[in-house]
């Protein structure tokens, strides 16, 4: 068994028994668990299943907002016979 020593600003030291010490540790673990749960809920707020996406719209001048990579332009003409002559401002795809 282990005992925790608790000091007070005023008064003598007192020992806390193993049951009271475990309650403190369990309470601490519970608080950490709730904090991590709240953080995961907030972080997953913008998730969308790919099968739920019906329209994809890309806009020239706008950047992507991926979590795992650096932002890149949403719409950029990189070649073809119309390069430099015609560049769309918006492109939409429907499924």
The predicted model gives 67-78 an average pLDDT of 87
With cut-offs at 50, 70 and 90, classify the pLDDT of residue 83: confident
More confident residue, 85 or 24: 85
DSSP class of residue 61 equals: T
Using one digit for the tens of pLDDT, what is the confidence trace for 41-68? 666 566 778 888 899 999 999 999 877 8
Residue 12: predicted pLDDT: 57
70/19: higher pLDDT: 70
Report the first-to-last Cα separation within the chain, whole angstroms: 64
Neighbours of 70 (CB within 10 A): 7
- Residue 37 in tokens: 């749960």
Cβ pair 42, 36 in contact under 8 A:
no
Beta-carbon contacts of residue 4 (< 8 Å; ≥ 6 apart): 15, 16, 20, 21, 24
Give the pLDDT score at 73: 92
Range name among 6-10, 44-48, 67-71 with the lowest pLDDT average: 6-10
C-alpha to C-alpha distance for 80 and 89, rounded to whole angstroms: 17
Question: How far apart are the C-alpha atoms of 75 and 94, rounded to whole Å?
Answer: 16
Alpha-carbon gap, residue 43 to 81, rounded angstroms: 43
């Amino acid at each position: 068994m282990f005992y925790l020593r608790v000091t007070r600003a005023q008064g003598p030291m007192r020992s806390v028994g193993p049951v009271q010490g475990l309650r403190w540790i369990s309470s601490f673990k519970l608080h950490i668990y709730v904090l991590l749960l709240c953080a995961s809920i907030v972080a997953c707020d913008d998730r969308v299943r790919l099968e739920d996406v019906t329209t994809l719209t890309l806009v020239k001048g706008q950047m992507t907002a991926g979590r795992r990579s650096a932002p890149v332009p949403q719409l950029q003409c990189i070649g073809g016979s119309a390069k430099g002559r015609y560049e769309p401002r918006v492109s939409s795809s429907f499924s």
